[in-house]
Amino acid sequence: MLLQWRDLGTTNVACTPYKNHWHVLTAPNVDFALLDLSCHCMHYCGLVKHLLLKSKLKNLLLETCVVEKSEEWVISDASVAYGGVAPLSLCAIKTKEFLIGKKWNQDVLQGALNVLRTDIVLKEDAPGGMVEFRKSLTLSFFFKFFLWVSHQIEGKKSIKESVLLSDLSAIKSFHRPPLVASQDYEIRKHGTSVGSPEVHLSSRLQVTGEAEYADDSPMPPNGLHAALVLSKKPHARILSIDDSGAKASPGFAGIFFAKDVPGSNKIGPVVLDEELFASEFVTCVGQVIGIVVAETHENAKLAARKVHVEYEELPAILSIEDAVRAESFHPNSQKCLKKGDVDLCFQSDQCEMIIEGKVQVGGQEHFYLEPHSSLIWTLDSGNEVHMISSTQAPQKHQKYVSHVLGLPMSKVVCKTKRIGGGFGGKETRSAFLAAAAAVPSYLMNRPVKLTLDRDIDMITTGQRHSFLGKYKVGFTNKGKVLALDLEIYNNAGNSLDLSLAVLERAMFHSDNVYEIPNVRIFGSVCFTNYPSNTAFRGFGGPQGMLIAENWIQRIALELKKSPEEIREINFQGEGSILHYGQQLEHCTLAPIWNELKVSCDFLKVREEVDGFNLHNRWKKRGIAMIPTKFGISFTTKFMNQAGALVNVYTDGTVLVTHGGVEMGQGLHTKVAQVAASAFNIPLSSVFISETSTDKVPNASPTAASASSDMYAAAALDACEQIKARMEPIASQHNFGSFAELVTACYLERIDLSAHGFYITPNIGFDWSTGKGKPFSYFTYGAAFAEVEIDTLTGDFHTRTANIFMDLGYSLNPAIDVGQVEGAFIQGLGWVALEELKWGDAAHKWIPPGCLYTCGPGSYKIPSLNDVPFKFNVSLLKGNPNVKAIHSSKAVGEPPFFMASSVFFAIKDAILAARAETGHTGWFPLDNPATPERIRMACLDEFTAPFVSSDFHPKLSV
């Protein structure tokens, strides 16, 4: 909004935006600031005030210029313009004409708002996002400006109207306080290194930028760069492909399609339902049709863009609800879990209240800092294929490449030094990219590197599954849940990938931590014309738990009780039998919840928040406490196995190779700590170089939070084998050092190398009966959050976050606390910031099936400004885990859901805002709770012209 004013007798300044920064320039007779109403930049009114104060204006007169005339303030001139509300900046000409000559009072405010509604016109399909939100902002910002000017001139003799104290919250400047954080944990040492808060072994290289990743691998002199030819239609028949333009492009070296694949063109991690290169049909935008290789990365991309494909378009399914209506499900992907008799319970008089509803759960982009990358080359005249890949599953790369090339797996080697984040996104979807690059490398007998640009990465490789949950819940007047009937659907995209396993985990976690006597859960995997969605931290668990917490909160509103009270009376405990037959053992939910409640002084904060909300009309605070229970193990039994190779050298140093991948989570550090303690040597004497399929075969992906449990145990097994061989020599002499012992063993021809192996014991689940023990154990946690929202803009910040986790006796508490903090912030992005916008019926301004939010300019991941002002992490003390190595617990995925405390705190704040206009009942709020959704849920006179009280914003699911 362009706000123009005149200052009499002082230096004037002009404040203009330039590349997202504000610059103050001197200019004669005019001050102005251009306010961009884009969805995620909400502090403009405070910003304008800040700029004005900095310019030391004394007699601020709105121009919108307000002059004192006959002891009244009259608007002599005005300029009002909006940027970011439409593709081009809009000038509110009618509003300007209305304002000029009017007295500055409440009447002019109401009149200007009425004119503004018709002055700034947006069509329903206007590009950029939620139209209703942008329309309301035009009014909200004008109202903020009116309040600010009124407050500035308040007290002058000609002003008869005062700004209400409760209204001042609309214009109060925001000052971000210094961040305060604490980490509370105990150190339980075991041997020389286990239990110690050691620094991540690669940290120095990473912070200095010296750590090497896949794309850092030097290109051989005859190496080529690759780029993908991608579909531009969500569902179509390929009529023809014209590659003449690509072949004439600079640096072109080759182009390859389905007909050129030496082996099989069919791929897939579970079932072979994908094509490496689309042959006749494309089933999503971004599907790979072919691959181009050229001398440089830029030339390869240029050539790929010159490939022209003719299509015959076919009907596309672009949402879960479209898929349900069309019964578009992946084959054999519908599941059911039952406990008790749901129908009988609903029909009986036990259920004093029954509620029904649905929950839409948004997806999420992995946004690892290192995009997908593979370098592939041949050896021995093409008899062997080697690759360096950024992947969580080197074995899958080995398998895919051997499959499409028609080679035995023994002739294909995949190596991974480290990856720059994966979060599940590099578990399976990285493999088809390596396989695509392998085709030109093998056929041309030349090295080929394929590294995706960020937009291509986001368009092609899938995201966290969006979900739709339809629930029916029966409960007593006291809030005790008696029956849950749930249908859940996930959006798999155009191939099955891991979507069935994601659905299964969501079904396992649909109770979160609540004792429910009667449960029935139906789950279905939807086929849609989007790129195949895939694993993401939590693997369906967070989606299932978020649906559960939604109906828990709705029960609380129905009964006019606090959600925390409803949670407590429904908690599971020691010995509880879950809806899939597993019995809880060593349950630490109650002590975690109680310690969290004491640490955050919940009842006192509740009173303070209620007091704040009572005295502030346009800023509201909210709080929430959320528990979690996350099952640890791959739910597919055979994947719960791990191998490691340990070599001891005569200088007393140890080389460990295992099947897990270091992706920043500290896996190598923990495994090295276990090996160091096993041999009673310093951590510096243990080295882990890389993960390689020719050292440890058939490794499961580094996923499911189980890698430290399994690979550390496998390494320990190998160490114990070597120690057993060394024992006869060690018992004969007093050696001064480990190196002396090793040398003595070597001279006695003792084998100083061993392969270790570990399987997770006592697990298994039978889907034919719906009963079993899918998880070895559970990691428990709970989190408290307090937020503050600006009801006029939807902006929010997290004032406090307290997290308690039970991680047993941590192998490395410093790394584990870092994992908790990182998971929480990533989860915060999922619940409140990151929205995927696809071309569908709800977003007609985006081409069908296309991803609009394909880069950081339109897709907002958390930043430093999103870190809670007070961020406290505590690990439960004195609770060893008997089910995992050295009494530790898995940490990677369980803390992710803790960020939902922010989501429900936001909803608590919105409830306070809605109460101001008499709306006190339950309302749907989908994640992510972006500023758009927050603002439009805070019903007031500025949203009323554009939406009804039951407005439900559209979400791509």
Give catalytic residues, as residue numbers: 893
Instruction: Provide the token pair at 846.
Output: 């985006």
Query: Cα dihedral angle (839, 840, 845, 847), rounded to 10 degrees?
Result: 40
**What's the DSSP call for residue 400?**
H
Annotated binding-site residue? 427:
yes
Alpha-carbon dihedral sign for residues 860, 861, 865, 868: positive
Instruction: Provide the token pair at 70.
Output: 């006959």
CA distances from 705 to 461, 589, 666 (A): 22, 19, 12
CA angle 630, 635, 638 (to 5 degrees): 140
Which residues are paired to 757 by β-bridges? 643
With 0-12 / 13-18 / 19 or more C-beta atoms within 10 angstroms meaning exposed / middle / buried, residue 653 is: middle
Annotated binding-site residue? 505:
yes
φ, ψ of residue 378 to 5 degrees: the values are: -105, 155
Note whether 794 and 932 are within 8 A (CB).
Answer: yes
Q: How many Cα atoms occupy the beta-carbon half-sphere of 10 within 13 Å?
A: 17
d(CA 577, CA 631): 14
The 3-class SS string of 129-141 reads CCHHHHHHHHHHH
3-class DSSP assignment, residue 585 = coil
Annotated binding-site residue? 617:
no
Note whether 450 and 374 are within 8 A (CB).
Answer: yes
Annotated binding-site residue? 704:
yes
β-sheet with 252-256: strand ranges across: 252-256, 288-294, 224-230, 448-451, 373-379, 384-389, 412-416, 691-692
Helices (H), 769-899: 813-832
Count helices and strands in the chain by DSSP H and E runs: 23, 38
Q: Which residues contact 929 (CB under 8 A, 6 or more apart)?
A: 831, 832, 903, 906, 907
d(CA 110, CA 96): 14
**What's the DSSP call for residue 864?**
G
φ, ψ of residue 133 to 5 degrees: the values are: -65, -45
Taking residue 226's Cβ as centre, other Cβ atoms within 10 Å add up to 28
d(CA 283, CA 531): 8
d(CA 118, CA 109): 15
CA angle 854, 856, 860 (to 5 degrees): 100
- With b for 16 or more beta-carbon neighbours within 10 A and e for fewer, the 158-192 pattern comes to ebeeebeeebbbbbbeeeeeeeeeebebeebebbb
Q: Which residues contact 897 (CB under 8 A, 6 or more apart)?
A: 538, 541, 542, 545, 546, 626, 628, 630, 781, 827
> Can you give the C-alpha Rg of the chain in angstroms?
30
Annotated binding-site residue? 635:
yes
Taking residue 212's Cβ as centre, other Cβ atoms within 10 Å add up to 13
Q: Which residues contact 109 (CB under 8 A, 6 or more apart)?
A: 143, 146
d(CA 476, CA 923): 21
d(CA 447, CA 718): 36
Taking residue 290's Cβ as centre, other Cβ atoms within 10 Å add up to 25
Q: Which residues contact 87 (CB under 8 A, 6 or more apart)?
A: 126, 127, 128
Binding site membership for Mo-molybdopterin: which residues?
Answer: 392, 423, 537, 704
Binding site for substrate, residues? 427, 505, 539, 635
| Binding positions | 392, 423, 427, 505, 537, 539, 635, 704
